[in-house]
Structure 1
Amino acid sequence: MAIWFPLKAPAAATPSSSQPPQRPSASLHFNLWRFGHRGHEKDEAATPDLLDVGIMVASPGQLAEISIYVPIKIGPEHIADLGALFSDGTLATGIFNESLTATNGPSHSVIILKKASGDTYCGVVKFPRSNNQIAASHLKFRHEFDGTIITITSTALAMGVSGIAENDSLYFRLRLTIPKSDSITFINAAIPNDKFLTSGVDVTEYLDFRLNQARNLNTGIAQQMTDAGWPKAVPTTRLDFLLVVGVAVDVVVGHPAFHKCRLLETDLWKSYVDKTHLQKGMVIYHWKDDPKNDPVVDFNAFVKLRLRLSDRKIITRYFIIALLIGISVGVFGNTVYDTGKFMFWKTIDMFRSTSAATTETQVACPPSVGKIPSEPPGG
């Protein structure tokens, strides 16, 4: 993936006040919700994975737009705006891990989050909707470079800036529903060849999440980022990546090592994620890059997961195969036994026949060795 921030022309970015504008900066948040697992057909089909992308921008008035590249082709039907959920201060507290209250800003397009001290934490944008999707004037899609460039437009930024004070930060949070056919773009799996011979399938999954890594970017994307002054024009001061998986899934390898993990608070998050998707017991693994001086230029998290899949379908399939193997072995064993028994007795009969024939020959022709024949009479 890639995220970059084209700036306005200097004259257009200068505020009306006499104070010089503050330098814009950003912090990025990614939540990958892993619901389906390869080799587990039921979950994979019914519950697609979700990727939440949060972008916090300081001094957003200087931005012309925000560009997000994802390496799959998607459209407006795959994107949802999560901004309205932040009207629940408890949920906002859970997301940002800070005590917050929520109120509507001057325009109902922005929710203002306040700290316990009364200071503003940020303004959260609520995108307008058209035909049950985010309005095309605020979020645009371009299929380029074997993927999609999602653009938060200047119209959306202007709407957000108008709802906050001059030096406040602005926050966008979007959810990408990953199509089933593209799930391997983010997480792939190694499934054992003997999966049909066991009552459960031991699956190894691996995730290689990369953001803004120059060696992996298409040259066209890299050029657009360079033209926008990345990474210095709008430095990324912090990046958080969270992976949410079932409690039965083991993280066997993680590089870099995760910062911390915790059990998902189901009651808190059931309004954030469809409660029918939340499994009983899910764990959040948290990676972060929070340099003190230099900006975050790129990010890479490699995670190797291991889990055992077993359900009624797998067990039934195993039972049928085991039954067929048992029947086949039984039939084969009986055939071998009967054939062996027949050959054994046939061999015995042949031996007996040979012995009997030899005895009869000996009786008919007695040996004369050692005897002197007598002279015929009258000799």
Structure 2
Amino acid sequence: MWRDLPGARDDALDVGFRIKERHAIEKLNLFVPARITFNDIEDLSGHLKNDRTLSAVFNETLEVDDFDDNVFAAVNTYNKKVAFHVISIVKTTDICFKYLDDGEGTIIQFRKSLFEKMKHVGDYYIRFRIVLAGPLKDLFVTSFSQEDKFFVSAFYTTDIIEFRLNERRSFPTSLLKSAGQMKWLDLSSVYFILIRDFKAELIRAHTDFHKMRRLENNLWSDYVSSLSKDPPAQMMLYHWRVKKTSERIDDFIALASFRTIKHSLLDYVLGIFLLGMAGNAAEAFLASLITMIADPQATDLKNVGPDWSHLIALFVCIFGATVIFFRSALKKFYWGTVNRDSH
């Protein structure tokens, strides 16, 4: 999962399956708790047709060999043996979407046509990207900001990033009803890798990760080129994994909490300015109102009556402060409305 990628508007979740028993699969279903369309999916096989990128993704010394438009072999550089085959995904023929009736998610179905293209002996690998744009940006992230951020020049933002696989208790009701009829994959291993800006401080994680290291920005520029033209500099990689032992892997969860310092000098200055204006407007209005009450017999109401312009200014200041303070909530409300309308 890519987050905070320099120069990128959107985050992304890259998903890969290494398939050992391809003949045992006619179709593969992946549930995502959001509405997914073709515009959100990108096939990544083209990015892997590069020796350096291929080796970086799999942390092995590999090279591309014996390829055509749909498939190529990933070959070990030293012994020249085929490690696996990478196959491309044609979105119009290999994928379809099924939307749950209650609107709680999408089943991405990989059709039989994809597996029929797997004609070579050996393992196969598919890899695709879900672009987390708009309402999908917070699909795996819950963010909290410091409550008094309006009155400070810098504040903390806390992100909780959570990824779940096959955790049945989190299934929507409509999906849970058919869980007994599903055929679950026999998983030999699960890897979850989170890559984000090194300025985000890891506070806690639900379990120890396998490794943590700094991302080599010179190896990944081509791989993330569809997200950003800037190299992924100053990024940290956090790696969780689980491997099959004597028991099968029923589910998997990765959860981590990060804290980031954000500077809001402009909001701070505007907040102090609006607060000062609101105080002056309130004081002037109350003074004119008290004068009118204290001297009800006054004939010059223009001079002793309440100055309504001050009251209007007070409401304008309150409205401006509300917009600044709650703009992140308003943004989420907007995207939520857009998402509901798209259904």
Q: How does 1:146-295 map to 2 (within 5 A)?
A: 146-159=104-117, 161-162=118-119, 164-165=120-121, 168-222=122-176, 224-230=178-184, 234-274=185-225, 275-276=228-229, 278-295=231-248
Q: How many angstroms apart in 1 are the aligned matches of 2:165 and 2:15?
A: 12
Cα pair 2:17 2:125 within 8 Å, conserved: yes
Tell me, yes or no, if the aligned pair for 1:87 and 1:103 is still in contact at 8 Å.
Answer: no
SS in 2 for 1:93: helix
Paired residue for 2:86? 124
- CA-atom RMSD in angstroms: 2.6
- The 3 A distance-change label for structure 1 pair 327 and 74 is closer
Classify 1:223/1:238 alpha carbon distance in 2 versus 1 (closer, same or farther; 3 Å): farther
SS in 1 for 2:175: helix
Aligned residue identity for 2:258: L
In 1, distance between residues paired with 2:275 and 2:174?
56
Distance 1:218 1:317, change over 3 A: closer
Judged with a 3 Å threshold, the aligned counterparts in structure 2 of structure 1 residues 293 and 149 are, in CA distance, closer, same or farther, namely same
- Secondary structure, counterpart of 1:83 in structure 2: coil
Return the alpha-carbon distance in structure 1 between the equivalents of residues 177 and 123 of structure 2: 28
Aligned to 2:267: 317
Secondary structure (helix, strand or coil) at the match of 2:48 reads helix
CA distance in 1 between partners of 2:71 and 2:246 (Å):
31
Q: Is the 8 A contact 1:237 1:295 kept in 2?
A: yes
The structure-2 alpha-carbon separation of the partners of 1:60 and 1:222, relative to structure 1 and needing over 3 Å to count, comes to farther
Aligned to 1:184, what secondary structure does the other structure show? coil
Superimposed CA distance per residue, residues 47-84 of structure 1 (whole angstroms, 9 cap, x where no aligned partner): 12100000001021221011111000010010000011
Partner of 2:97: 141
Q: How far apart, in 1, do the equivalents of 2:205 and 2:262 lie?
A: 21
SS at match of 1:240: strand
The SS at the match of 1:113 is strand
Q: Secondary structure at the match of 1:235?
A: coil
Q: Which residue of 2 aligns with 1:96?
A: 58
Amino acid at match of 1:264: L
Q: Which runs of 5+ in 1 are unaligned?
A: 1-31, 37-42, 129-133, 333-379
Q: Deviations over 1:239-268 (max 9, x none)?
A: 000111101001101011211111111111
Alpha-carbon contact 2:218-2:231 (below 8 Å) kept: no
Bigger Rg, structure 1 or 2: 1
- Tell me if structure 2 keeps the 8 A contact 1:253–1:305: yes
Match of 2:250 among 283, 294, 297: 297
Q: CA 1:171–1:328 in 2, change beyond 3 Å: closer, same or farther?
A: same
Matched residue type, 1:297: D
Contact 1:35–1:277 (CA under 8 A) maintained in structure 2: no
The answer for the alignment partner of 2:303 in structure 1 is none
Deviation at 1:299, TM superposition (A): 0.5
Aligned to 2:191, what secondary structure does the other structure show? strand
TM superposition shift of 1:295: 2.2
Whether the aligned pair in 1 keeps the contact of 2:10 and 2:132 (CA below 8 Å) is yes
Provide the identity percentage: 24
Q: Name the CA distance, whole Å, in 2 between partners of 1:267 and 1:240.
A: 23
Q: How does 1:12-31 map to 2 (within 5 A)?
A: none
Match of residue 292 from structure 2 = none
Greater CA drift, 77-86 or 219-228: 219-228
Query: Aligned partners of 1:142, 1:209: CA distance in 2, in Å?
Result: 21
Q: Which amino acid aligns with 1:157?
A: F
Q: Distance in 2 between matches of 1:86 and 1:270?
A: 12
- Which TM-score applies when normalising by structure 2? 0.74
Contact 1:47/1:277 (<8 A) preserved: no
Within 5 Å, give how 1:41-52 maps onto structure 2.
47-52=9-14
- What's the counterpart of residue 288 of structure 2? none
Count of residue correspondences = 278
Partner of 1:113: 74
Residues 367-378 of structure 1 correspond to what in structure 2 (within 5 A)? none
Letter of the aligned partner of 2:69 in structure 1? Answer: H
Deviation of 1:88 (Å): 0.5
Task: Rate the CA distance shift 1:197–1:280 in 2: closer, same or farther, 3 A.
Answer: farther
Shift of 1:331: 11
Q: Tell me the TM-score normalized by structure 1.
A: 0.68
Structure 1 runs (4+) deviating above 4 angstroms are 222-225, 323-332
Aligned to 1:79: 41
